[in-house]
Structure 1
Amino acid sequence: MIDVVYFAWVRERIGVPREQIDTTAATVMDLVTELTAREDRYALAFSDLDSLRVAVDQELVDFDAPLVGVREVAFFPPMTGG
């Protein structure tokens, strides 16, 4: 089981702030593929990966990052400051 956390508009599109996923995904991209196949709301949230960032166990990673031994995956839009 992996905790999957959604922030900002990703959370709004999916409709939940977090969920536990029982997955066999080897990489973050595999997890995204599994999620988008679930329902349209996931497909919408992950439709533009260029506008998403991902963190694995609170460290920024690329979508090809492995999920072996991972406890948490978080998806969020790029941060902006001002």
Structure 2
Amino acid sequence: VDRAEQAVRVLAARPEFDEVALYGKRVHVVAENIAALQPLIHDVLTDAGIHVDTMLVIPPSLEDVFIAKIREEMRKKESG
């Protein structure tokens, strides 16, 4: 995307995404069923005037899995 920092802010404001972060010049979005959310990501960014070059679905890294587990445990503690 062009304007990656703005893209992170726009996407991070959406409840559909668990995590949105900047990795170099790329925007990394984590969510359940991310492949199904690709059209939404494209539309949200386009509506914000941000050009999307390419989108790829990649397998979660070990760090992604670790963070997801930590967040899951935190949610469990907060809710009960």
Higher helix proportion (structure 1 or 2): 2
TM exceeds 0.5?
no
Higher strand proportion (structure 1 or 2): 1
Is the radius of gyration larger for structure 1 or structure 2?
2
Higher relative contact order (CA 8 A, sep 6+): 1
Q: Give the alignment's TM-score, normalised by structure 2.
A: 0.32
Q: Give the alignment's TM-score, normalised by structure 1.
A: 0.31
